Amino acid sequence: MSKLKNRVALVTGGSRGIGKAVALALAESGAAVAVNYRERGGEAGAVAEAIVKSGGHAAAFGADVSLRSAVQSMVRDVEERLGPIDILVNNAGMAAARGLDDITEEDFDRAIAVNLKSAFLCTQAVLPGMRARQWGRIINVSSVGARAGAGSVSVAYGAAKAGLEGLARGYALRLAPEGVTVNTVAPGLVDTEMGKPLIEAGVTARIPVGRAGTGDEIAQAVILLVSNSYITGQTIAVNGGALFSGGRLYGVFHQAPMDRHETQCRCRLPESIGRGSASQWRAVPPPDVTPPASLVFPRRLSSPPSRY
């Protein structure tokens, strides 16, 4: 396909997982792709090389997108090598697992900087060209955790991802008359390195479609938003039905020690309309799919990998 021929796309956190799938899909649609990375230069280079070998145009660009100077330098480099940026996919992210008792101000600031501030910085950097050309597509990659609660990681992660959705709506309202659309894709559990701990814990049994998503399926949603000029200010949920199943996938399991070897789980369960408060809490037995020790609070946890 060549519907994006002569367009240039920048994908942050494009070295693996969802970012890699999005970069490959954009290239397949004809766009030249800038693959951003922070530390995984070899993997980002391999993505760019795969695109070039298939007849496309791509290059890898290293930058910490939570820093304004690094973003500005990266955008200049991309435009010098590939051309003006028409499509921006804000995919870079990280998820540090922290409980309520051990999350620090530094943890919170870092989560906001990488997951949310980076999208603001990149958007601001590419907007002048998009507005001048009266054409642009900006897609933020959020998470089902923005609405259901990010139970397996820190509260900062959920806050940042929800912020991405609000950021997109704010930009969309202002940019719609100028030919620039801004939307969000909110993936559920996806079979990537970040999602493997949950998959291994059996969480897919709680997803109505019975499986985790793939990076390609998230990329398809991105291509839809890039191709459609009438969709703006929207969040496209790609989660296998996880939200309408009552939020069970990402329900927060609060752990209250009973003794050194037992725990009591308290879960917020949805109530039917007219049958009580939706925020009612009650004690329940441990769920049939128990999160592994590395995903249970309030102990300090090992952090899932970042998305770039």
How confident is the model at residue 151, as a pLDDT?
A: 62
Ranges 105-119, 192-206, 254-268: which has the least confidence = 254-268
pLDDT at 268 over 50: no
- On average, the pLDDT of the chain sits at 83
Q: What's this model's pTM, rounded to 2 decimal places?
A: 0.80
* pLDDT of the residue at 195: 83
Q: What's the rounded mean pLDDT across residues 91-116?
A: 89
Report the C-alpha gap between 122 and 138 in whole angstroms: 10
d(CA 179, CA 229): 8
The predicted-structure confidence for 40-84, as pLDDT tens digits, reads as follows 999 999 999 999 999 999 999 999 999 999 999 999 999 999 999
pLDDT at 254: 31
- Helix%, strand%, coil% for the chain, nearest 5: 40, 15, 45
Report the pLDDT averaged over residues 202-225.
94
Q: Provide the residue type at 305 as one letter.
A: P
Whether a cis peptide bond, with omega within 30° of 0, leads into 257 is no
Q: Where along the chain do its domains lie?
A: 8-238
Model confidence at 1, pLDDT cuts 50, 70, 90, reads: low
The DSSP secondary-structure symbol of 185 reads E
What single string gives the DSSP state of each residue in 10-42? EETT-SSHHHHHHHHHHHHTT-EEEEEESS-HH
126-164 residue pLDDT tens:
999 999 999 999 999 999 888 877 666 788 888 999 999
Among 51-60, 125-134, 184-193, 236-245, which is the least confidently predicted range? 236-245
Q: Is-contact 147 186, C-beta < 8 A? A: yes
Spelled out in words, what is the top-level CATH class assigned to the domain 8-238? alpha beta
Chain centroid offset of residue 231 CA: 19
3 state DSSP class of 174: helix
Residues labelled catalytic = 157
Q: What are 205's two structure tokens?
A: 């049994």
Residue 158 or 277, more confident = 158
- Name the band, by pLDDT with cuts 50, 70 and 90, for residue 291: very low
Q: Which residues pair with 21 in a beta bridge?
A: none
Structure confidence at residue 208 (pLDDT)? 92
* 67-76, 98-107, 253-262 — most confident range: 67-76
